[in-house]
Structure 1
Amino acid sequence: MTRPALARAAAILCGNPDFQRFLAYRYPAPWGQSGDLPAHKRAASVIYTVCRIQSRRELDTNAEARRRYDRLVGLPYSSWRAAKSGGSPICGASVRVAERPF
C-alpha cells in the first residue's frame, strides 16, 4: 500500500473532529477568524494560514510548505494525539507537547 500524498492526507484530516479540536486549541486566532465556515473548512483555512499556502496541493509541490506543515501541524498533532492517549508518537520516545505555537 502506498502512502497518500500529503495534500490528500491533510484533506482527510480536516474532516476529523479530533484534528479540528487540535487546530482550534493550537491555533485559536486563525481558527476563530473563519468562524462562519463548517469545521472541515475552518481546519483547511488554518492550514492555509499556518503553512502560508493558497491550496493544500502546495503541500505536494512546495518543499518549504511541506516543511512548515510537518513542523507546525503534522508533528505537533502526532504529539498531541500521543499525549491524549498516554502513548508516544515515535517508538517509545518521550515527547513534550507545547501548549501554544512557537
Structure 2
Amino acid sequence: MSSIIPTFQGEVQLAGWSDTHNGGAKVTFWLTDATDLEAFRTLTIRKGNHAGHRFAAVLVEIGDDEQPVQPESQQKGGELAKLAGQLCNNPEFWNFLHAKHGWACSMSEDAAKLIRNRCRINSRSELDHKAEAAAIFHEQFREPFVEWRRWSKQ
C-alpha cells in the first residue's frame, strides 16, 4: 500500500459559504498561518467553466482547547420532522385526529405522541431518516389530513 502525501496539512478557519447558481456551493477558509499559502500557489484555480485542482478533504472541528469536537450523534430532522411539528401544533389537526381516529388531543404533545407511536419512532426527526416511518406518516396523517381539510371546508 502506498502512503499518501497530503498537499496541505494544517489549521483552517471557516470564513464563509454560499450557494451557487448552478446547484453547487462555495466554501471559503482562512489559513491561520500565512506561510501555509505556499502549498496552494502552484495549484490551478477555477477559470471560467474549467475546474481547478480537485481534492478530497477531511475536516475535523477543533475546540478552543485544541481538542477535536465530536459532532452531534443525534440525527437532525428535515422537512418531514418540521411538517410533523407544524401539524402537532395545529388545533385543526387535533380535531382531525379526534374525528377520524377517535384520538383526543388537547395539546401538541398529545399529537406528537400519537405520531411517534403510530410511526414506531422515538423522535419526529426519524421521519426524515426511516422510509417506513415516513410512509406511515404520509399514509395515516399527512394525506388524510389534507383530504379531511378539503372535505370539511365544503
TM-score by length of 2: 0.46
Give the 4+ runs in structure 1 shifted more than 3 A: none
Q: Deviation per CA, 1:34-73: give whole Å up to 9, x if none.
A: x7xx511001011012211111011110011000000011
Compare the two structures and name the one with the higher helix fraction: 1
CA contact (8 A) 1:48 1:56 kept: yes
Write the distance in 2 (CA, Å) between the matches of 1:25 and 1:43: 13
Segments of 5+ residues of structure 2 without an aligned counterpart are 1-77
Check if 1:42 corresponds to 2:116.
no
Look up the SS of the partner of 2:139 in the other structure.
helix
Q: Which has the higher contact order (CA 8 A, sep 6+)?
A: 1
Task: Tell me the C-alpha RMSD between the 2 structures.
Answer: 1.6
Aligned AA for 1:68?
I
Write the distance in 2 (CA, Å) between the matches of 1:27 and 1:55: 21
Segments of 5+ residues of structure 1 without an aligned counterpart are 87-102
Write the distance in 1 (CA, Å) between the matches of 2:101 and 2:121: 16
TM-score by length of 1: 0.68
Write the distance in 2 (CA, Å) between the matches of 1:46 and 1:77: 14
Task: Map 1:11-26; keep pairs closer than 5 Å.
Answer: 11-26=85-100
Aligned AA for 2:149?
R
CA contact (8 A) 1:27 1:46 kept: no
Indicate the residue corresponding to 2:135 in structure 1. 67
